[in-house]
Amino acid sequence: HRDLHSFPTRRSSDLLIPIARDTRARHTLAFEPSPANLRLLELNLKLNDVVNIDLRRVAVGEQSGTIRFTENRINTGNSRVARDRGELEVPLVTLDECVADHWECVDLLVMDVEGFEVYAMRGAARALARTRLFLVEFGPEHLQEQQCRATDFVELVAEHFRSMYLLGPPYGLDMRHHSMVMKSLRNDYKDAEAWPQYFRRSDFVAYLEALPAQRGLVLNLLFSKDAEPLRQLAPRGSKA
């Protein structure tokens, strides 16, 4: 039984179209509150002849209702919830009300909501309990802009997932800091270690909490229910 849930992101077409076209997912849900982004996404789906997607023009959060939203006309991927100054009012839903209770498994959840991740996860307790893989962008600065802490994010992912993959070098982070933290977690860590890098739960909690809340810091993370490394995600050249 294969079910899949996907959030549109700033790379929505890059992710959503291959997922819907190339996997055997029985269901694909996509959420896009920006009218401009939604039009582009609908056009791209049509051009790629992708029809098996349930696309909804809503934002996802902690509770249902409406919320203010602002569109970035220059960088559409930076459109975001802006409760005090948003020029648009958009519908707000929770993942738990959208993901059918009879779905046994959510194979993949993709989330890039510009700092609103904590609220989206709080409204997704039942969905996350059934999610095998969770691909998410982590930016402490974005979280702060939405009145959330990095520790709020870490506590939620640690509640639901047993391991994490850092998919590439952290954007905006001095790699000397990354190496210093990694060496404090693993005696055998080498600076040239390939990507993605695997963390057990206790290590990913320590790593994420040790990151500085500096401007522009962004990490692409994949969380998994599996405690042991996935063979499909072994770094290139690895025999794992």
pTM, to two decimals: 0.89
118-157 tens-digit pLDDT: 999 999 999 999 999 999 999 999 899 889 999 999 999 9
Confidence (pLDDT) at 156:
98
Is the predicted pLDDT of residue 163 greater than 50, yes or no?
Answer: yes
Measured distance CA(95)–CA(70) in Å, rounded: 21
Is the predicted pLDDT of residue 11 greater than 70, yes or no?
Answer: no
Q: Which of 149, 153, 138, 144 is nearest to 9 (CA)?
A: 138
Q: Say what percent of the chain tops pLDDT 90.
A: 45
84-102: average pLDDT: 87
**Side by side, which strands form the sheet with 80-81?**
59-60, 88-93, 65-70, 80-81
Between 162 and 176, the more confident residue is 162
Q: Which of 163, 111, 164, 154 is nearest to 135 (CA)?
A: 111
**Side by side, which strands form the sheet with 197-200?**
106-111, 131-138, 219-224, 163-166, 197-200
Confidence (pLDDT) at 182:
92
201-228 tens-digit pLDDT: 999 999 999 998 788 899 999 999 999 9
pLDDT bucket at 198, cuts 50 / 70 / 90: very high
48-66 tens-digit pLDDT: 888 888 899 999 999 999 8
